[in-house]
C-alpha cells in the first residue's frame, strides 16, 4: 500500500485497480468504452470513471515556414471522458459491474 504521507498534500488520491474495455452500439454507432475502477486511498471504497475512444484529425501548428504549416494534418485516437452515473462499492468488480449496468441502459437494443 502507498504510504499515506506521500499523498497528504493532495485532496484526492486513487489507484486505478482494474480496467475494462467494451465495444457497444450506442446511438446507432459502435463505440469503444473504457471504464476504470478507482480505489480511493482515503476511504477504501471504489468508484469508476469512463472514457470513449474518439478519432480526431489534428493540424500540428509548428513548425511553420512563410506562414504555412510544414506538416500535414495527422489522425489520432484519443480517450475522451464519458459520463456515467456515480458508482460506489467496496470491491473493484462491484463498481465495474455497476458502471457496466449503467452503460447497458444506453446501448441500442
CA distances from 90 to 40, 46, 86, 87 (A): 10, 6, 14, 10
Biggest CA–CA distance in the chain, Å, is: 59
How many other β-carbons are positioned within 10 Å of the β-carbon of residue 106? 14
Tens of pLDDT, residues 50-100: 999 999 999 988 888 888 888 899 999 999 999 999 999 999 999 999 999
Pull the grid cell for residue 85.
452515473
Determine whether 35 is exposed, middle or buried from the number of CB atoms within 10 Å of its CB (0-12, 13-18, 19+). Answer: buried
pLDDT at 60: 85
pTM of the prediction?
Answer: 0.86
Amino acid at each position: 500500500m502507498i504510504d499515506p504521507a506521500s499523498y497528504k498534500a493532495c485532496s484526492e488520491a486513487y489507484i486505478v485497480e482494474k480496467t475494462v474495455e467494451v465495444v457497444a452500439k450506442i446511438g446507432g454507432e459502435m463505440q469503444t468504452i473504457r471504464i476504470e475502477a478507482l480505489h480511493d486511498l482515503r476511504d477504501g471504497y471504489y468508484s469508476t470513471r469512463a472514457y470513449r475512444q474518439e478519432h480526431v484529425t489534428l493540424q500540428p501548428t509548428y513548425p511553420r515556414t512563410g506562414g504555412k504549416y510544414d506538416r500535414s494534418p495527422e489522425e489520432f485516437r484519443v480517450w475522451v471522458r464519458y459520463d456515467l452515473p456515480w458508482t460506489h462499492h467496496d470491491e473493484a468488480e462491484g463498481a465495474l459491474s455497476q458502471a457496466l449496468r449503467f452503460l447497458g441502459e444506453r446501448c441500442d437494443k
